[in-house]
């Protein structure tokens, strides 16, 4: 794989690779006792968001981007409007075969720059206890922990099932 990574807006032709990456990454995260909860989460997230990216993010004053190396999508992330003067970072995933190459850091920097370009002074995000590398990245990048909670109820943003989530923000 080429080491040059480019980030560009999502186009409809990206949908199959984005869908596959979403499922692959989340299946790797799924603890054995929560496999059924994760499968229900995939079904809901695909229907409400991943299989309708343009509509979903467009309705939320946001956008969705892919990181690619040649024709291969190696990462994804979205931004949607949050409360007040903030955007929320969503769906930041890196292909497991492409990890440890700085792709997540590049995508996070791109998201921050996009917020600045839009004159949005704050970026918010959340991640779960299952994503230790993401927790470390966000802390290293200057994100401040706002709160943590154990999420029992599933949505298109959370699996539920008693997984601890961490909520961060950064003033840009």
Q: pLDDT digit string (tens) for 34-76?
A: 888 888 888 999 999 999 999 999 999 999 999 999 999 999 9
* 166 lies in some domain: no
* 16 lies in some domain: yes
Q: What is the three-class DSSP state of 99?
A: coil
* 116 lies in some domain: yes
| Number of domains the chain contains | 1
Domain of residue 114: give its range: 6-124
CATH of the domain at 53: 3.40.630.30
Please state, rounded to an integer, the average pLDDT across all residues of the chain: 93
* 117 lies in some domain: yes
* 66 lies in some domain: yes
Confidence of residue 162 (pLDDT cuts 50, 70, 90): confident
Closest among 154, 150, 148 to 166, alpha carbons compared: 148
Is the model more confident about 55 or about 155? Answer: 55
Closest among 77, 40, 31, 13 to 155, alpha carbons compared: 40
Inform me whether the pLDDT recorded for 122 exceeds 80.
yes
Q: Give the whole-number percent of the chain exceeding pLDDT 90.
A: 80
Inform me whether the pLDDT recorded for 2 exceeds 50.
no
Which tokens is 27 given?
Answer: 């299946």
* 146 lies in some domain: no
CB 124 within 8 A of CB 89: yes
* 17 lies in some domain: yes
pLDDT of residue 156: 63
* 144 lies in some domain: no
């Amino acid at each position: 794989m080429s080491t040059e990574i480019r980030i560009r807006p999502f186009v409809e032709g990206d949908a199959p690779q984005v869908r596959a990456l979403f499922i692959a990454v989340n299946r790797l995260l799924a603890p054995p006792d929560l496999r059924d909860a994760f499968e229900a989460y995939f079904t809901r997230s695909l229907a409400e968001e991943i299989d309708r990216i343009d509509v979903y993010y467009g309705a939320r004053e946001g956008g969705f981007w892919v990181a690619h190396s040649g024709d291969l999508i190696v990462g994804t992330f979205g931004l949607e409007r949050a409360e007040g003067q903030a955007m929320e970072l969503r769906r930041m995933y890196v292909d497991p075969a492409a990890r440890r190459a700085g792709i997540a850091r590049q995508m996070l920097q791109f998201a921050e720059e996009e917020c600045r370009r839009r004159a949005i002074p704050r970026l918010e995000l959340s991640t779960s206890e299952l994503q230790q590398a993401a927790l470390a990245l966000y802390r290293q990048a200057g994100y401040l922990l706002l709160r943590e909670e154990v999420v029992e109820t599933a949505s298109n943003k959370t699996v539920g099932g008693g997984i601890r989530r961490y909520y961060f923000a950064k003033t840009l």
